[in-house]
Amino acid sequence: MAEYEKHLYMIVFPINALVASQLEPEKFGEHYTMGSAKHFSGKVIFAELDINFRSDYFEIEKYLGLTVPHSDGSPKKTKFISSYNVLEHVELSAIKKLFLCTRNGKVLPIEPAEYTAYNKPGMIRIYQEIAPL
């Protein structure tokens, strides 16, 4: 049976959830937006977390242990760990990369970078609320 690397993903839009998966980030985004009738259909924002991230709030070890290939050898696509109070229990240092997904499954990775913007007074700013706290 094939061996698949396990991943931790934090979905931040349209819901807030912590998910274990054997899919690479691009395939995870594609699956979540288009690959299953059980999931949301539309834009998705998620972050890949350090696989070594642990918090007493989540049963990560338990669910990673349940994230195993199906009997036909295909990877486990999603194993939901939590869908409540996720964002406030994940350390910022655990976030590796952010991903934006279009409704047709295209995935854009956003690499981490230092914040270097200059905040000029009076400058017009446009934003979208992602996950209110």
pLDDT at residue number 36: 67
Domain ranges of the chain: 7-110
Element (H, E) at 107: strand 107-110
pLDDT tens sequence across 11-29 = 998 899 999 999 999 999 9
Q: Which two tokens stand for residue 75?
A: 């990877």
| Short-list 4, 45, 39, CA closest to 23 | 4
Q: Encode 16-50: b = buried (16+ Cβ within 10 Å), e = exposed.
A: bbbbbbbbebebbbbbbbbbeeebeeeebbbbbbe
Read off the pTM: 0.84
More confident residue, 109 or 34: 109
